[in-house]
Amino acid sequence: MLFRSAGKRAVLMVEEGQPDFLEQALHAILRKADVATRLHGKDVLPMGGEYTPLVLTDGLRKFLAAAMPGVLDGAVTPPDPRPVLADPRVQALATALPARPPSFCTGCPERPIFSAMTLVQQELGQHHVAGDIGCHLFALNEPFNIGATTMGYGLGPSSAAALQVAADKRPIAVMGDGGFWHNGLLSGVGNAVFNKHDGVVVVVDNHYSAATGGQDILSSRAENPSRSTNHPIEDAVRGVGAKWVRRIDRTYDVGKLRDMFREALTTRESGPKFIIASSECMLNRQRREKPLFNSAVKRGERMVRPRFGVDEDVCTGDHACIRLSGCPSLSVKKSADPLKEDPVAAIDTSCVGCGNCGEVAEAAVLCPSFYRADIVLNPTRWDRAVAWLRQAVIGRLQRRRAGRRMAAA
């Protein structure tokens, strides 16, 4: 920073929040090096509050006016949105529109973890759940409402270490693979093993440091030419002395996850219990697979895209599937059946075909209304023949059913 600042007329330090640690440190560095560059920061930007685009625009204008007087003369001024935002009609939208808190992405492999946790707590009662920094912290919101404490990045197990309670109410700590490698291995896992902590630690392994953009980490599956990857988390956990370690490589299997949680919370084996819940971040997976899929379709290759739907005739309208899943693609719509007053569940086109909705319905023994439909692109002759045969059989059965309804009427 000293090298970049030397020879400049002025430098702007954009540091959100207070105190202004970085600004003070840079000021000391410049003055000790006898660099005369003027430093601006909290003199043109607010001490507190969020640095929104509007706030930053005002701050940059003040900085340029102080550092380069006249540089903005004749510049085109963008429209100021504040008068529009102050309009009572616009402000009224805040009460008319429902709140939309942050949540897991569509198809996120972390959502079924908390669906399984919800199911097992319905069976065994509420447990203290210590959260951590990362995508999994979204479980605090609806529909899961899971999470009691959050200390810091990789500190989920550390915060749960203080809660040595009765064996039937073992605390649960959740942290991601990024937090695990950041400091969770020592401060959380090593501490739990050393102190023989009788709790449950869930490590969410989505193959990346997903919450900060999908960077590779030690346990990533990618073959990174400049980094050392493919180091399993369970090897590191066992390496510090953990004995009870379970791993699941498909978190969408809600039933298996629920059974794993139940075993961890009820086993008589002492010491910490570790569950490695591993599935690739859906955002990174889609970024990798979509271009390959689209290229294959353009080349004329046969490709299959799975989609899920809800059978209106079977859906009971109790919406338990939504409360246990919370997927953004799972919504409700008005039923075509006049005898059903409540809206039925529906899946929109944002579905990525992860299958979590059906897995949740099966694990919780809900109505079997979910179905899977495979969209075949560039179908072969065999695909067309099978589709024609299916349509013929289904159409005949539907016509026979319709005829019987009319006769009965």
Q: In terms of Cα–Cα distance, which of 308, 297, 245, 238 is closest to 273?
A: 245
Q: What does DSSP say about strands 200-205 and 273-278: parallel, antiparallel, or unpaired?
A: parallel
Taking the C-alpha atoms of residue 133 and residue 154, their distance in angstroms, rounded to an integer, is 7
What's residue 254's pLDDT?
Answer: 93
What's residue 408's pLDDT?
Answer: 47
Instruction: Tell me the pTM.
Output: 0.76
DSSP string, 282-329: HHHHHHHHHHHHHHHHHTT--EEEEEEEE-TTT--S--HHHHHH--TT
Q: What is the pLDDT of residues 236-293, one digit of tens each?
A: 999 999 999 999 999 999 999 999 999 999 999 988 999 999 999 998 899 989 999 9
How much of the chain, in percent, has pLDDT values that exceed 90?
39
Taking the C-alpha atoms of residue 174 and residue 402, their distance in angstroms, rounded to an integer, is 53
Residue 336 and residue 313 in contact, taking contact as beta carbons nearer than 8 Å: no
Domains and CATH numbers, the chain: 2-93 (no CATH), 111-283 (3.40.50.970), 303-378 (3.30.70.20)
Residue bearing the bigger pLDDT, 78 or 171: 171
Looking at residues 398-403, what average pLDDT do you find?
A: 84
What's residue 304's pLDDT?
Answer: 93
Q: What is the C-alpha R_g of the chain?
A: 28
Q: What is the pLDDT of residues 347-400, one digit of tens each?
A: 888 888 888 888 898 888 888 889 888 899 999 999 999 999 999 999 998 888
